[in-house]
Amino acid sequence: MNNEHHSTMKTIIKLTSLAAVAWVATALFSQCSSSTEKDSETEQEETQAMDDPRSYDGCRWTNGLTYEIFIHAFADGNGDGIGDFKGATQKLDYLAELGVEGIWLMPIHESPSYHKYDVVDYRSIHPDYGTMEDFKTFLNEAHKRGIKVIIDFVINHSGRDHIWFQEAIKGKDNPYRDFYVWKTLEEIEAEGSVMKEATGDSPNPTQWHEREGEDELYYGFFWGGMPDLNYDHQPLRDSIYTIGKWWLTEVGVDGFRLDAAKHIYQDYRMEDSHAFWVEFREEMESAKPDVFLVGEVWDEAEVVAPFLAGLHAVFNFDLGWSILNLLQNDEELPEDRTRIDQQAFLEKYAEIRKFYMGVTPHFVDATFLTNHDQNRIMSELSGDEVRARMAANLLFTLPGSPFIYYGEEIGMKGVKPDEEIREPMVWGAPGEDPVQSTWREPVHSTHEAVTPANQQYNDKGSLWAHYQMLVQQRKASPALLNGAMVPVDLQVDGLLAYYRQAEDEKVLLVHNLTDEEISLTQDMLPEGVELDEAKLISVNEISETGKLRGFSSWMFSVASAE
């Protein structure tokens, strides 16, 4: 989190077996464990599953689409301008039609801020969003549609107004004092931790905060209004576990998105953080064995991967950055990032998966383009819908469990500050849709700048329809849903290619990452792949056989990998 408060051609080719594919690569790029990739070591691991704290069903969460919602901005059911659960419930059919199988809700608890990452009561629903009964209705209706729901569980810190902190500031002898981290200025100076280095998830260098009349400062990594909880204190840990189990068993949520997972302990005590998340998962699974836990670890893959010892999934920030890198022009590419080509992308992807597999073969790779803390994908690509479609092509044809941010499917725009990447969902023109949120006047995603969802919903050529097609295609393809990935080098600049392979299906994906038409000839393709029979999965039409227009994708699929 951030402290600022974040026609398609009908012929499908049947390919012959591609014996050149190395089995070791298949294992490396696997999404979930399957019978096609079991070896003796894997079978031994499965036999020991009850004894191995890292062993669980890596496919416990959907590999279909998960949709991130900021309730405040999504849909207003009572007419006060602020999104709520009554409004969100009315839009569940919209989400089901898009193909959503999971929902991630940004914080929903009582909080003094609009973003609600400074929680005041972990067992509450913010009054702006409705009542607990409203939430349970939303949850039950989502479940009826086959949609699972996870909520943001913000446990790195509480809000300054939380009763725990209000008790803690009453004095050093208060039983809640040790729910937080306190030190004198002398202690802080002695350990050299007065200030911290600004990072992508926290540009604020201040981490210790004074209170008038106190000789001790309290630790708050993100902001003084968000004091960090003290996980060296067992009573605090027990309290958090009790609250988590209550949401799982009494309320019925399907899991949690864990905010700021790498900051649980002060000064990046990574080994302690990894151990905590193992303990946290064990506690949550004791209450709900099929619980799903996905962590936000905003960092490079080598830092992210060890958290899979405890969490079922982590967000793949590296992949999102790499997809953007492939598609951004020189003016759009951030100064701190080096341009990569298609082969460097595949090498980077292999590196990410290697780090993950080095921790556990059982994981869910939570892939995404951008989220509530980042500039929206459409703005990162200067409003270019063709490139935005290509970004989606990559997201939905690569391995992983894809997440999208509300409004991404209609091309909503937004750049920092955070409020401007969390603007109201664009349902229709003013007055057109009674559930339109008006929590703030949009700067980027106006109904003139973004074609509203209600219009795109009925337009077969819309960005929304493109997302829906990709989701449906993924659901219908075992290879895309759960298959391994094997890179293919076509030796053509600008063409990215890879296989996705499951037990009974193999597909070859070819993406033109340039804005120019590229000729593809039969001799460029692997043995057994016929050029004149391909399925187009991009908006750009095929100019003629063998011509792949700029920012277009082809898929060659097979009914059997035998």
| pLDDT digits 0-9 by tens, 415-448 | 999 999 999 999 998 889 999 999 999 999 999 9
Chain centre distance of CA 468: 18
Contact 123, 246 (CB under 8 A): yes
Contact 278, 311 (CB under 8 A): no
How far the first Cα of the chain sits from its last, in Å, is 46
Does residue 26 register a pLDDT over 80? no
Does residue 122 register a pLDDT over 50? yes
10 Å Cβ neighbour count for 317? 25
Residue 40: what pLDDT? 36
**How much is the mean pLDDT over the chain?**
87
- Measured between alpha carbons, how far is 376 from 415 in angstroms, rounded to an integer? 6
Does residue 222 register a pLDDT over 80? yes
Pairing type for strands 216-219 and 182-184 reads: antiparallel
β-sheet bridge partners, residue 293: 256
Residue 59: what pLDDT? 54
pLDDT digits (tens, 9 = 90+) for 446-462: 999 999 999 999 999 99
| Residue 556 DSSP class | E
Contact 494, 534 (CB under 8 A): no
Nearest C-alpha neighbor of 125 from the set 163, 71, 78, 68:
71
Residue 267: what pLDDT? 78
Q: How many Cα atoms within 13 Å fall on the side-chain side of residue 6?
A: 21
Q: Which residues, at least 6 apart from 28, have a Cβ–Cβ distance to it below 8 Å?
A: 350, 353, 354, 357, 484
Q: What mean pLDDT comes out for the span 48-70?
A: 63
Model confidence at 529, in pLDDT bands (50, 70, 90)?
confident
pLDDT digits (tens, 9 = 90+) for 249-264: 999 999 999 999 999 9
Residue 560: what pLDDT? 46
Model confidence at 202, in pLDDT bands (50, 70, 90)?
confident
- Measured between alpha carbons, how far is 546 from 510 in angstroms, rounded to an integer? 12
Q: What mean pLDDT comes out for the span 386-407?
A: 97
Domains of the chain: residue spans and CATH: 23-54+480-558 (2.60.40.1180), 65-156+234-476 (3.20.20.80), 163-219 (3.90.400.10)
Pairing type for strands 495-501 and 506-512 reads: antiparallel
- Measured between alpha carbons, how far is 344 from 326 in angstroms, rounded to an integer? 10
Chain centre distance of CA 482: 17
Nearest C-alpha neighbor of 178 from the set 167, 162, 193, 190:
167
Catalytic residue numbers, as ranges: 259, 296
- Measured between alpha carbons, how far is 521 from 72 in angstroms, rounded to an integer? 51
Residue 268 gets the label, from left (phi > 0), alpha (psi -120 to 50) or beta, of left
Pairing type for strands 65-69 and 535-536 reads: unpaired
